[in-house]
Structure 1
Amino acid sequence: MQLADILQQGAVKMLGGCTSKKRLFHDLGAMAEQSYHMPSADVIDALIEREGLGPTGVGHGIALPHARLADVDRVRGLFLRLEKPLNFDSVDRQPVDLVFALLAPEEAGVEHLRALALVSRTMRNPDICAKLRANSDPATLYTILTENQATQAA
C-alpha cells in the first residue's frame, strides 16, 4: 500500500483561518464529500465521535484524525496544511499544522491499521514534514506526500 492508493490529489489542501477542531472536522467533511462523494455530516460525526475517545494529535505539529464509516468502500485519505497552527490537545501540547485524516470502512480492520501505520511513518519523517511546511500549493503538497513512497518502493 502506498499513499497514492488512499489519497487523491484533490483531497489535499492548504487551509487558512481554522479556529477549532470542530471547524477543522467540518472542513474535512466538506473535502470528503467533494473528493470522495461521502456525506459530509457522516464524516464530521464520525471524526468527532472518534476524537471523543482521545485526541489524535500525535505530536510535533501533526494530527492523524481517523474514523470508520458504514458507507465507505475503502480507506481514503485527506490532507490539510494549516496556515495557522491549531490547538489539538496533542500529546506534546504543541499546536497542529499538518493534518492527515483517514476514513475507513467499518469492517476494514487490517487495511485501516496498515493505512494508519503508513501515514504515521510518513508523517514521522522530519524531511517530509519540513517540505510540507515550506509549501502551500496543493499539487506540490500531494507530490511531496506521494513521491517519497514511489522512491522507497523502487
Structure 2
Amino acid sequence: MQLADILRPDGVKVISSSPSKRRLFQDLAEMAGSCWRLDPAKVNEALLEREALGPTGVGHGVALPHARLQGLDRVRGLFLRLDKALDFDAVDRQPVDLIFALLAPASAGVEHLRALALVSRTLRDPAICAKLRANDDPATLHTILTEGGPRNLAA
C-alpha cells in the first residue's frame, strides 16, 4: 500500500482556519462527499464517534482522525493543512495544522491499521512536515505526501 493508493489530488486542501474540531470534521466530511462520493453526514458522524473514544491528535501539530464506514470498498484518505493551527486535544497539547483523515470499510481490519501506520510514519518525518507547512498548493502537498514519504507498506 502506498499513500497514492488512498489519497487523490482532489482529496488535498488548504484552509485558513477552522473554529473548532467539530467544524473541521464537517469540512472533512464535505471533502469526502466531493472526492469519494461518500455521504457527508455519515462521514461526519463516524469521525465524531471515533473522536469521542479519544483524541486523534498525535503530536507535533499532526492529527490522524479516522473512522470505519459501511459501503466503502477500500481505505480512502483526505488531507487538510490549516494556516492557523487548531486546538485538537493532542497528546502533546500543541495545536494541529496537519490533518490526515482515513476512512476505512467497516470490515477492514489489517488494511486500516496498515494505512494508519503508513500515514503515521510519513507524518512523523520532520522534513516532510516542514515541506507541507511551507507550501500552499494542494497539488504540491499531494506530491510531497505521495512521493516524499515511505514508499509503501507491504500488503
Determine if the TM-score, normalized by the shorter chain, exceeds 0.5. yes
Q: Give the direction of change, closer, same or farther, for the CA distance of 1:149–1:127 in structure 2 (3 Å limit).
A: closer
Deviation at 1:149, TM superposition (A): 4.4
Asked if 1 retains the 8 angstrom alpha-carbon contact of 2:14 and 2:136, the reply is: yes
Scaled by the length of structure 1, the TM-score of the pair is 0.96
One-letter amino acid matched to 2:109: G
Distance 2:136 2:149 in 1: 20
State the partner residue of 1:86: 86
Distance 2:63 2:149 in 1: 20
Which blocks of at least 5 consecutive residues in structure 1 are unaligned?
Answer: none
Which blocks of at least 5 consecutive residues in structure 2 are unaligned?
Answer: none
State the partner residue of 1:76: 76
Asked if 1 retains the 8 angstrom alpha-carbon contact of 2:128 and 2:149, the reply is: no
One-letter amino acid matched to 1:41: A
Q: Which runs of 4+ in 1 moved over 4 A?
A: none
Deviation at 1:122, TM superposition (A): 0.2
One-letter amino acid matched to 2:68: R
One-letter amino acid matched to 1:137: D
Q: Would you say 1:52 and 2:52 are equivalent positions?
A: yes
RMSD: 1.0
Residue identity over aligned pairs, in percent, reads: 68
Q: Would you say 1:27 and 2:6 are equivalent positions?
A: no
Scaled by the length of structure 2, the TM-score of the pair is 0.96
Q: Would you say 1:146 and 2:150 are equivalent positions?
A: no
